[in-house]
Amino acid sequence: MTTDMAPTTDQAAARPAARDAGALLRRADELARAAVAVPALARQKLAPLSQLALREDDLSLTGGFVHAIARQLGEALYPPGLALDPAMIAQDIILTDSAAISVLFARAIEARLCANASLAGLAMPELPPRVEQPVGDAQDELAQAAMALIIAQSRFIGNAQGFTLDLAELPPELVSTLVRRTLGWLQDQLDADPLALRACADALLYSFDERRGRPHRLMRFCHLFEFPRAGDDWSLAENGPSLIFAMLARASGLPTETLIDMVRDADLARLAVVLRGCGLMPDTASQLLAGIALIASLRLEDVAAAPALAIINPDDAARLVASWRNLLPLSAPGLVL
């Protein structure tokens, strides 16, 4: 069985000297506070275009996800027989919603990480060994959760290759908001029968079940497997990127989208603080950071090695992570730290 590609002694020695722990904490906090602007920046890049330091492939995939969600909303909500361009919903409803942009942009980054998972030793991103192993006993609750997760993960990866995304990838509160906004927009634009529109909206919301969505499947598996644990249980090659970020969400209390957004940092400073704040030992955290840097196409020499992580006091890191978590409700809806 393959294992994570841990940095060699020579690689670690070639990195810059271990930075001061306080400097790393300050750097991570600066990145966290600056990240609140990401949804607005992504929206400006998508419509209209502007010059931004965001990956073009992530933005392109986000644009595909925006139109996929708009198409699903349009098909579910507007009465049959009325012409409707989903691009209008994408422009007027989704691209003006910071929460939607936050989630869809994070899903695009996650899809890219899954596509590159083989670099960290994972043969099939939709079938990580940690999830595949319990499937043997079909009567076991964990086995059933694992099978459901494999199916959901496979669907997510396959859809992303076609620049599309299921509505079930969105949090229920976001789905409800988008449905209400789309309903009002359709009433205003089409002057359709309000009772017919309301019936369509009620049917969509009634049929939406977050328990069938992949995010819930990931957290359910974490719960049954009693993640987070320690040591080798954090292996990127054993879990795959999606499950790793679900484990971090469970351990840190931060939203998955917030954690995935941290992959944008060239030095993964915010993520390094989260790992130490969650109690990961320096060697374990270093190997995980190295693996994430690899699949995120970041330079390994820019990422903190075990010696730099060791001088970060876990209590200081946990306190900083708690401050980020506490500030989330004060941010505009959907903006992430």
Please report the pLDDT score of residue 32 as a whole number: 85
Instruction: State the alpha helices, DSSP H only, in the chain.
Output: 9-14, 21-34, 38-46, 56-77, 86-89, 98-115, 129-132, 141-161, 172-190, 194-207, 214-224, 236-252, 256-261, 269-277, 282-295, 306-310, 314-327
Please report the pLDDT score of residue 336 as a whole number: 42
Mean model confidence pLDDT for the chain: 86
Q: Do the beta carbons of residue 234 and residue 284 sit within 8 Å?
A: yes
| pLDDT at 28 exceeding the cut of 90 | no
Q: pLDDT per residue over 268-298, tens digit each?
A: 999 999 999 999 999 999 999 999 999 999 9
Please report the pLDDT score of residue 275 as a whole number: 97
157 residue type, one letter: I
CA distances from 235 to 115, 155, 189, 218 (A): 17, 23, 51, 16
Q: pLDDT per residue over 96-139, tens digit each?
A: 998 999 999 999 999 999 999 999 999 888 889 999 988 876 56
Higher-pLDDT residue of 263, 44: 263
Range of weakest confidence among 5-9, 144-148, 317-321: 5-9
Please report the pLDDT score of residue 324 as a whole number: 92
Q: pLDDT per residue over 191-217, tens digit each?
A: 778 998 899 999 999 999 998 999 999
Please report the pLDDT score of residue 50 as a whole number: 43
Q: Do the beta carbons of residue 240 and residue 118 sit within 8 Å?
A: no
Please report the pLDDT score of residue 160 as a whole number: 97
- Other CB atoms within 10 A of residue 140 CB: 13
Q: Looking at residues 255-273, what average pLDDT do you find?
A: 94
- Other CB atoms within 10 A of residue 139 CB: 6
Q: Looking at residues 60-83, what average pLDDT do you find?
A: 86
Alpha carbons 317 and 276: distance in angstroms, whole number: 6
DSSP string, 125-178: TTS-HHHHGGGG-TTSHHHHHHHHHHHHHHHHHHHHHTT---GGGS-HHHHHHH
Q: Looking at residues 145-157, what average pLDDT do you find?
A: 95
Q: Looking at residues 211-239, what average pLDDT do you find?
A: 92
Please report the pLDDT score of residue 38 as a whole number: 75
Range of weakest confidence among 1-10, 37-46, 65-74, 243-252: 1-10
DSSP string, 306-330: HHHHHTS-HHHHHHHHHHHHHHGGG
Q: Do the beta carbons of residue 201 and residue 183 sit within 8 Å?
A: yes
Q: Looking at residues 248-261, what average pLDDT do you find?
A: 95
Q: Looking at residues 32-37, what average pLDDT do you find?
A: 77
Please report the pLDDT score of residue 135 as a whole number: 84
User: H or E segment at 208?
Assistant: none
User: Sorting pLDDT into bands at 50, 70 and 90, what band is 83?
Assistant: low
Q: Looking at residues 40-66, what average pLDDT do you find?
A: 74
User: Sorting pLDDT into bands at 50, 70 and 90, what band is 90?
Assistant: confident
Alpha carbons 307 and 335: distance in angstroms, whole number: 33
Please report the pLDDT score of residue 222 as a whole number: 95
Share of the chain above pLDDT 90, in %: 62
| pLDDT at 37 exceeding the cut of 90 | no
150 residue type, one letter: I
Q: Looking at residues 43-71, what average pLDDT do you find?
A: 78
* Side-chain half-sphere CA neighbours of 5 within 13 A: 14
